[in-house]
């Protein structure tokens, strides 16, 4: 089984805090429920709700500040 995705979302939740993380997930799902979502879409949404750049977290997990670009 592949756990890395779940571990990343746990790290993102810890970095953002519960309120911002779950608000981000709700908005992300609503915006992309009938379309194609990309990692840059997720990055943008997470940073908007966190109120700051999350480059260090994305670099740690993906080796780049904004994967997919």
DSSP states of 1-69 as a string? ---HHHHHHHHHHHHH-HHHHHHHHHHHHHHHTTS---HHHHHHHHHHHHTS--HHHHHHHHSSSSTT-
- The pLDDT of residue 66: 59
- The pLDDT of residue 19: 97
pLDDT(29) > 80:
yes
Confidence grade of residue 63 (pLDDT, cut at 50, 70, 90): confident
Do 54 and 32 touch, CB atoms closer than 8 A? no
Q: What is the pTM of this model?
A: 0.83
């Amino acid at each position: 089984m592949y756990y890395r995705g779940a571990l990343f979302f746990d790290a993102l939740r810890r970095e953002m805090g519960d309120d911002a993380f779950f608000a981000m997930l709700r908005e992300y799902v609503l915006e992309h429920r009938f379309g194609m979502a990309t990692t840059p879409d997720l990055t943008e949404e997470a940073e908007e709700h966190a109120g700051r750049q999350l480059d260090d977290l994305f670099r740690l997990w993906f080796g780049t500040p904004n994967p997919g670009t």
